Structure 1
Amino acid sequence: MTETDGNRLTVDDEIVARARIHAREVCGEVGEYDLDMDFDALEWDVSARARRRAGLCRWDRTREVATIILARRAYERYDWPEFAAVVRHELVHAWEYQCFGESGHGPRFREQATRVEAPRHCRSFSDPRYRLSCLAENCDWQAERHRASQPVKSPDQYRCGDCGSSYAVTHRESGRTWTTAHEFGGAKAALGEEW
């Protein structure tokens, strides 16, 4: 933390300040990439809760304001060039919202992201907790999940994304595996606080 005029600045203040400075360097008439943005219709926030997503851009249609939310954990784990790329990625979303009222990762996004040297998708800053693996012998389908979503909790209610067979879920840290909701409950109870 930094102290200025008796006020204590937090890490969140630092994140927002650096992101704003970078945004001004990237966008506008004097910016490196000339991504034409309305900075008065852009707000910033920091999430202390985010566990995998480094950034997010929300659009308030009624106010016509884009809010870029950056993850504190990502800021702490990434070096500045990678975090600055996250900022540019979210700026492209904000630009799309301001210009078109919608945003995604389609061709328009890809074109602008390439222009501002932003990744199409930002790397997760945490490892997934669960691995889903197809049980069919001739299928090597796998998927990863960060949260205990319904396909993780009740794998017997879902199917492999490639061949439609059953799959197993593995808790990566402990190695415990389950194929039913009942087995999920047992694994969670057995792990207790290690869950």
Structure 2
Amino acid sequence: MTGESDDETYTLDDELLARARIHAREVVDEYDVSVDLGALEWDVSARAKRRAGACRWHADREVATIVLARRAYEAYDWPAFAAVVRHELVHAWEFQQFGESGHGPRFLERAAELDAPRHCQSFSDPRYVLHCLEDHCDWRAERHRASQPVKAPDQYRCGACGGSYEVEHVESGRTWTSASGFGGVKAALGDRW
């Protein structure tokens, strides 16, 4: 498990996990949440760029693993990160009680009781931003990887009004509205892509 060390040197991961575990115990006690902390494992992701946390269910062992993003811990203040821990505890509760979890009404009700957000604020800059091209619409969406809506925006529609949108490569400011435009910008940027 990430964060454990063989010597007396403590890492940022050790700190993150210790604070998360302590907060989880406080939440379980204060809010009387029926999460079995003995059937809960913790891990740290050094790679996560978008998700501050995740909860995975291992049905074969009936154990939930909460994975917390180191980058989020470094970017957020403690109250914001503690909210991430509470959010993932709601998932752990759902998995332990019902064998499944999502962001539906049951989750939202329990999350509200724990003052846990449905979604966490971003802790890294997006690589791409999608902008609606309609004058009356200010819809935008951020993406961190080149998903299909980024690669072929002409095959998708604005999430608010259904109009066309363009994709911006944030670092360069270059934009495109089609799959061929994506290929052209990628080729033009070369190593700067």
TM-score by length of 2: 0.89
Residue 74 (1) aligns with residue 72 (2):
yes
Q: CA RMSD in A?
A: 1.9
Cα deviation for residue 123 of structure 1 reads 1.1
2:148 and 2:32 mapped to 1: Cα distance? 43
1:102 Cα offset (Å):
1.1
Please report how far the alpha carbon of residue 40 of structure 1 lies from its aligned counterpart in structure 2 after TM superposition: 1.5
For 1:170, give the aligned amino acid: E
Alignment correspondent of 1:104: 102
Q: State how far apart, in whole Å, the 1-side matches of 2:94 and 2:6 are.
A: 38
1:25 partner amino acid: E
In the TM superposition, residue 150 of structure 1 has moved relative to its aligned partner by 0.8
Change (3 A) 1:140 1:83: closer
The total of aligned residue pairs comes to 189
Q: Distance in 1 between matches of 2:165 and 2:127?
A: 16
Alignment of 1:14-93 (within 5 A): 14-27=15-28, 31-93=29-91
Q: Which runs of 5+ in 1 are unaligned?
A: none
Alignment partners' CA distance in 1, 2:123 and 2:134? 31
Identify if the C-alpha distance between structure 1 residues 140 and 79 changes in structure 2 by more than 3 Å, giving closer, same or farther. closer
Determine the C-alpha separation between the residues in 2 that align with 1:5 and 1:136.
58
TM-score (norm 1): 0.88
Distance 2:63 2:52 in 1: 20
SS in 2 for 1:8: coil
| CA displacement at 1:140 relative to structure 2 | 4.0
Which residue in 1 is equivalent to 2:154?
156
Equivalent residue, structure 2, for 1:192: 190
